[in-house]
Amino acid sequence: MIRQTLMILTATLTFSSFAFASGISDSERAAITDRIQPVGDVYLVGSEPATAEASGPRDGATVYGTFCVACHGTGVSGAPKKGDVGDWGARIAQGEDTLIKHAIEGFNAMPPKGTCMDCSDDEIKAAIEHMIAGL
Ligand code: HEC
């Protein structure tokens, strides 16, 4: 009887330590914890985490840095480069209204709103002004 109990005990210990040794890794544990997170978090009034979401219009530098720089930084597909007089001279000569219109509606390889679909016209205008500032 004692012998049997010992055997069962030993077996149990062996199996549980085996399960422990082959247990999930920290990253798997983190992944599981992630998956079982509740969909929404509850915050007490006043203790909401600060969000990066802007409450007002984004400034030109922000819009440029988020959307336009992808092409206008290095001149992808012939995009006029930020701050480059040679690239912008003739375009600026068309007048700002045309620049804004082309930026909003799209122009050849220039996509409408420079891919910032939730940008307001003013935000697009600010981004253009940021690109040609000082020219
Ligand atoms: C996918 C690449 C791409 C992105 C992103 C992009 N542009 Fe452009 N953009 C171009 C190209 C290419 C041209 C040149 C088109 C031409 O002259 O044929 C251009 C031209 C322009 C022009 C000049 C239009 C004219 O009349 O000469 C303005 C203004 C402009 N882009 C504004 C922006 C703004 C503002 C953003 C960001 C909100 C932006 N672009 C994002 C590719 C891009």
Q: Using CA atoms, how far apart are residues 107 and 109, in angstroms rounded to an integer?
A: 6
- How large is the average pLDDT for residues 112-123? 97
Report CA(53)–ligand 1 centroid distance (Å): 25
* pLDDT for residue 82: 97
Report CA(46)–ligand 1 centroid distance (Å): 42
Give the C-alpha distances (Å, rounded to integers) separating 18 from 8, 10, 12, 30, 32: 15, 12, 10, 21, 21
How confident is residue 2, by pLDDT bands cut at 50, 70 and 90?
A: confident
Q: Using CA atoms, how far apart are residues 38 and 107, in angstroms rounded to an integer?
A: 45
Q: Is 116 in the pocket of ligand 1 (CB under 6 A)?
A: yes
- How large is the average pLDDT for residues 83-89? 97
